[in-house]
Amino acid sequence: MTDVNPLFLLTGPEILDWLRQEDPNRLATLWQRADAVRSAHVGAMVHLRGLIEISNYCIRRCGYCGLRAPHTDLPRYRLSADEILAAARQAVALGYGTVVLQAGEDPVLTQDWIAAVVHQIKMQTPLAVTLSLGERTPAELRTWRQAGADRYLLRFETSDPELFARIHPPLGTQPCDRIALLREIQALGYETGSGIMVGIPGQTYASVAADILMFAQLDLDMIGIGPYLPHPATPLGQGQWSTPAPAGTQVPASELLVYKAVALTRLVCPEANIPSTTALATLNRQNGRELGLQRGANVVMPNLTPLAYRAMYEIYPEKACISETGTQCHRCLSGRIGRIGRVPGAGPGGRQRTPACTGSKP
């Protein structure tokens, strides 16, 4: 262990102060402390998770996401089981320990079909399997866990229930409660991931501070943080559905705010696996990935979706890394990892628990 003192947790007001901090010298201490905590708790390895976007069909109408059902101009695709298995084999060939199967909320991806695909991947490869298929039923989640799925990712997007309800209409009459669903996912024995978008219209600094505390409270294993990027074919992207935050309180959807949120998350959740996200790389193609990795993150998610479908998984426009094959994406990310003195991870890269691990104050 380094000089990292795990005895002090950051309080909500301290997190809020850091989110509003503009002094480059003070911020440099935040980056250093986050990097030290990252190094002490999860080490120098950067885990590569092969991302397979298995379907862009979606029955939801989320105000922020380009895959929303009413976006009828978007061509839709769904991978075959063979295509998914081929991508999983490519993940093994490239040395990855995990694949992430992600999709819109697509009911054609049935309980049994997904269970069979998970089972095949587990039979044919040593990969850990992560699912990110939206809000699915407890029965589906249980069946997939039994079929061998190891991890589940579901971002709560914002912990502010009013803001979430505004941007994420329910399917039926019941309001969505992603926090409750995350607890069910944990109870099923999944390694559990969540996360947020930073800079949603109407999202305040205080709300992002509450999100970071929520990560710690949920004791999440994986935490993804990216900027909100407006999609012109969505209500939020067209300036609808949002109530402006009070003057001076709107959190910007900026690169800097994402770094702050990543660094603070590392301090309060020292053991979590935290990706340096593609959305962040979209804001800074030159070195956004690297800066994320140097300010608390320890994971990247190279894209293994077959190139023919890549552009159609358009959750937001101008996505980085959209035209590179899996092999090119791998080379690019491995180079970026090496150039900042880190090493590609080996094995599944699950959460490692250390005794008496709490958080750290910068």
Point out which residues bind ligand SAH (CB under 6 A): 64-65, 102, 104-105, 132, 134, 154-155, 157, 197, 226, 228-229, 231, 279, 315-316
Q: How far is the CB of 219 from ligand SAH (least distance, A)?
A: 20
**Bridge partner residues of 45 (DSSP):** 343
Nearer to ligand SAH, 77 or 228 (CB): 228
Measured from the CB atom, is 16 or 154 closer to ligand SAH? 154
Which CB, 132 or 276, lies closer to ligand SAH? 132
**Whole-number Å distance between alpha carbons of 93 and 320:** 23
Nearest residue (CB) to ligand SAH, 157 versus 211: 157
Closest CA to 236 of 157, 320, 313, 172: 157
Calculate the CA dihedral of residues 163, 14, 279, 218 and round it to 10 degrees.
-70
In whole angstroms, how close is the CB of 292 to ligand SAH at the nearest point?
A: 15
Query: In the bound complex, what is the minimum distance in angstroms from residue 198's beta carbon to ligand SAH?
Result: 9
**Which of 119, 155 has the CB closer to ligand SAH?**
155
Rounded-to-integer distance, Cα 353 and Cα 209, Å: 24
Least distance (Å) between residue 149 CB and ligand SAH: 15
Q: How far is the CB of 136 from ligand SAH (least distance, A)?
A: 10
Least separation in angstroms between residue 312's CB and ligand SAH is 13
Tokens coding 291 = 């800066």
Task: Please state the closest distance from residue 255 (CB atom) to ligand SAH, in A.
Answer: 13
Shortest CB 58 distance to ligand SAH, Å: 6
Closer by beta carbon to ligand SAH, 231 or else 330: 231
Residue 157 or 160: the one with the smaller Cβ distance to ligand SAH is 157
Q: 97 CB contacts (<8 Å, ≥6 apart)?
A: 47, 48, 126, 127, 128, 345, 346, 347, 348, 349
CB of 216 to ligand SAH, least distance (A): 19
Handedness of CA 71, 301, 303, 80 (dihedral sign): negative
Which has the closest alpha carbon to 47: 100, 122, 98? 98
Nearer to ligand SAH, 37 or 74 (CB): 74
Nearest to ligand SAH of 53, 290 (CB atom): 53
Residues 301 and 319 sit within 8 Å (Cβ to Cβ): no
* CB environment 267-299: b (16+ within 10 A), e (fewer): bbbbbbbbbbbbbbbbbbeeebbbbbbbbbbbb
